[in-house]
Amino acid sequence: MRQYDIAVIGGGPAGYIAAISGAQMGASVILFEKSVLGGTCLNRGCIPTKTYLKGAEIIHHIRMSERYGIVSNTEYSMDMKKAVGNKNAVVKQLTQGVGALLRSNGVEVVYGDACLAAAESGCERAKQVSGLKVVVCGGQEYVAHNVLLCGGSKAGRIPIPGIDHENVLTSDEILDLEQLPKRLGIIGGGVIGCEIGAAFSAYGCEVTIIEEQERILPQMDVEISESLRETFQRDGIRVLTSSRVRSIKHASGECVLVCENDDRITVDKILLSIGRTADLSCLGAFKEQIALERGYVHTDEFLQTSIPGIYAPGDINGKSMLAHAAFKMGEAAAKNAMGERISCDLCHIPGCIYTLPECAGVGLTQEQARRQMGADQILVGRFPFAANGRALACGAGTGFVKVIVGRTYQELLGVHIFGGMATEMIAEAASLMAAEVLADEIGEMIHAHPTFSEAFMEACADATGQSMHLPKSNRSPCRSGH
């Protein structure tokens, strides 16, 4: 029986990057994947939804084409079979690419359900050699000095009467629909609900989003949430906040969502998008021994679990359930398994929502900064895309860039963007925050003109009262955080 330096359970973003990182350090690595490489992100999340949202963006451009003098008498319609086929082709190319990366780095890949097993389960080598861990896959035992639990997450569920029905879908299933429902009800106004709602609304579906909290995208800055809600309502998406679904009734192919305030919403399909929970099936024989916290695997700053030699990067630990955070955690966990002591810093992880317009944020929201520092200790700078030449030329004048700055040292505490190219622009903000570049320094940096990114520079300049492209009456050297 071969002995490995690292065994990775799960081939999602955390898992495959961990495997490659370990292999590049000279480790012998084996990776177990129960279905398809790439995890939720590539197969059922980030990438599939972005292909659908690209379709929604194209429809948006078709609708505004006459503004640019493009006149066409051709009608368009939505072919969901082709949309699904395109999505599947993109996913296939990317997942095959992950497989090629693993092969080129010498990572052995085994397909099947894998989980931890006790050394006493029958593996003589693990009994004889102190520190070896056992992984079981398809009845076969494998031993390794270190195991990385990269089981990822699964769609969350809530106990609502009537929820277990074929017309109630999670994000795993709705992206395979080959027929567009006329009416779609979405339970949950977080990232997944808003993105899928935006796509299906553009495709021609009547969309209703039901969110139990006071606002959609509750993790984002309040101005972002409010701006997106206004856009949704303008585009015909019905948004109900502070509303909870009590039950779901099914009859004659229709679904009726019964809410606590007695609202009754009739739809054809329902998307349950209340977030994701850790998939703990990979814990196996150690499910009672590995410490959990709020339903996630508890890890220290080095991503090690309560059992030495067992690490848990990615969604399974609940620290940041984003693919780019999982990449970073997977790399750090592999290095730590090989003897390094790397603390995984997740302070400047950007969050992106690919609606139309897009939303993005990094660092503290204005509300968080107020609570932590006090309103009189922060400055707020804003710049509207309505004053940005590139945005106006592209018909994307809706939205703004907002920066939160420390009053004393002018450090950048948070950046929040609502508008075109927001998900691309946020990378500059996150990079400069990580490099500890000050807001007044950013305000003096030359940005190409005309670009969307000028708005970020101008917002930083506005926070310190130096913006050249805002009317003087709108500028102030002491923009209060109140």
CB 207 within 8 A of CB 184: yes
Longest dimension (CA), the chain: 78
Do 316 and 224 reside in the same domain of the chain? no
Do 257 and 282 reside in the same domain of the chain? no
- The per-residue pLDDT for range 157-177, each reduced to its tens digit, is 899 999 999 999 998 899 999
pTM of the model: 0.94
Q: Within a domain: residue 283? A: yes
Do 283 and 177 reside in the same domain of the chain? no
| Rg of the chain in Å (alpha carbons) | 24
- What was the pLDDT predicted at 482? 56
Q: Within a domain: residue 159? A: no
CB burial of residue 220 (10 Å; 0-12, 13-18, 19+): buried
Do 261 and 284 reside in the same domain of the chain? no
Cβ atoms within 10 A of the Cβ of 203, count?
A: 19
- List the one residue out of 159, 229, 154 whose CA is nearest residue 197: 229
How far apart CA 331 and CA 353 sit, in angstroms, is: 25
Q: What is the CATH number of the domain that holds 75?
A: 3.50.50.60
- The per-residue pLDDT for range 319-378, each reduced to its tens digit, is 999 999 999 999 999 999 999 999 998 999 999 999 999 999 999 999 999 999 999 999
What lies within 8 Å, CB to CB, of 163 at 6+ separation is 157, 248, 272
Give the domain extent around 232.
168-274
Tokens 């395979």 label which residue? Answer: 176
Do 212 and 115 reside in the same domain of the chain? no
* DSSP conformational letter for 305: -
Do 51 and 128 reside in the same domain of the chain? yes
- What was the pLDDT predicted at 426? 98
Q: What is the CATH number of the domain that holds 385?
A: 3.30.390.30
- The per-residue pLDDT for range 178-201, each reduced to its tens digit, is 999 999 999 999 999 999 999 999
Do 80 and 191 reside in the same domain of the chain? no
Confidence of residue 110 (pLDDT cuts 50, 70, 90): very high
Assess whether pLDDT exceeds 90 at residue 472: no
- The per-residue pLDDT for range 50-101, each reduced to its tens digit, is 999 999 999 999 999 999 999 887 788 999 999 999 999 999 999 999 999 9
222-234 vs 366-373: helix crossing angle, rounded to 10: 160
How far apart CA 97 and CA 104 sit, in angstroms, is: 11
Phi, psi of 246 (to 5 degrees): -85, -35
Do 76 and 188 reside in the same domain of the chain? no
Do 142 and 256 reside in the same domain of the chain? no
Please give the positions annotated as active site: 449
Tell how strand 140-149 and strand 310-311 pair up: parallel
What lies within 8 Å, CB to CB, of 409 at 6+ separation is 438
pLDDT mean across residues, the chain: 94
Tokens 């520079």 label which residue? Answer: 457
